[in-house]
Amino acid sequence: PFQTLTAPAPFADERSCQCQAPHEKLTIAQARLGTPADRPVRVYADGIFDLFHSGHARALMQAKTLFPNSYLLVGVCSDDLTHKFKGFTVMNETERYEALRHCRYVDEVIRDAPWTLTPEFLEKHKIDFVAHDDIPYSSAGSDDVYKHIKEAGMFVPTQRTEGISTSDIITRIVRDYDVYARRNLQRGYTAKELNVSFINEKKYRFQNQVDKMKEKVKNVEEKSKEFVYKVEEKSHDLIQKWEEKSREFIGNFLELFGPDGAWKQMFQERSGRMLQAFSPRQSPNSSPTRGRSPSRSPSPPWVFNKASPPSSPKAASASLSSMSEGDEDEK
């Protein structure tokens, strides 16, 4: 069983070929049917794989899934061959080997792979098919280094992933060089390690300081906005509470001091009591105008009581007649 998903892929020079059955020539049709059943179809893919990215991984995934039962060998060219035929790389050969070993689709890594595939190399590793994109790859004085593989019927094409490549990544780094240089200076790298001149170093450090100040100002502005927002929110709550309390206060005031309020009724009651205290009702005058004798003799019958007038005309005439009879008797 392959350990691709649980362990790094092994190097070809550290193990012997595990194919026990005789290596017979296969056609693409036979390989697509999953034959032979006693061994997997051995597929080979090669490249530089500098700055290993998703485009590389997708190409290897296609090579791995070309046939139902396949074993993927990946050849990685050394630094000497790459610098000679293609150019300088960002990652050295050891880093590129390790990147390929940890790809889940790779079953075996071949170090120091040849630039042009020879029949001896194909026979040594018992390779059935070679997988690569179908675009002619001109290099080493040849219009297409896979031309003889295609003529032998051993070439299986894969599709390139648009929008991602090693050249695109390097172009982004070159385009944003100042940003990355400033970032790495801030992280502790020296100007010598970054190959930055003294003047550019000072410029980058000054720009970093300016960015820090801008960040501080931005933070202060955000905090100020947050504080103002909180104050506005609290003031709105206070105004709302004041409006509610003011309505309640006005209602209570009108209940006390309004036209029909309790204060007016209480004032009227107290003012009535005060008037009654200062001017009480006149008591009846029961004493005659003349002074009474000390013996308090009864008053003569002809003296009328002012406080008690006759109740009727008949009573008045009766009293007058009695008075006249009394006068005659005295005479």
Kindly tell me if the per-residue pLDDT of 94 is higher than 90. Answer: yes
If one compares 8 and 329, the residue with the highest pLDDT of the two is 8
pLDDT score of 66: 92
Using the Cα atoms of residue 213, residue 219, residue 225 and residue 227 in order, give the sign of their dihedral. Answer: negative
If one compares 313 and 270, the residue with the highest pLDDT of the two is 270
pLDDT score of 321: 53
pLDDT score of 16: 57
Q: Where are the domains of the chain?
A: 26-156, 164-262
Comparing CA positions, the residue from 70, 94, 99 lying closest to residue 82 is 94
Structure tokens at 238: 């206070």
pLDDT score of 307: 46
Kindly tell me if the per-residue pLDDT of 192 is higher than 60. Answer: yes
pLDDT score of 283: 54
pLDDT score of 248: 76
pTM above 0.85? no
If one compares 219 and 43, the residue with the highest pLDDT of the two is 43
In which band, very low, low, confident or very high, does the pLDDT at 8 lie, cut at 50, 70 and 90?
confident
Strand order in the sheet with 108-111: 108-111, 70-76, 41-47, 129-133, 155-158
Kindly tell me if the per-residue pLDDT of 284 is higher than 90. Answer: no
Q: Would you put residue 160 in left (φ > 0), alpha (ψ -120 to 50) or beta?
A: beta
Structure tokens at 126: 């018992």
User: What's the CATH superfamily of 26-156?
Assistant: HUPs (3.40.50.620)
Q: What is the mean pLDDT of residues 3-25?
A: 69
In which band, very low, low, confident or very high, does the pLDDT at 19 lie, cut at 50, 70 and 90?
low
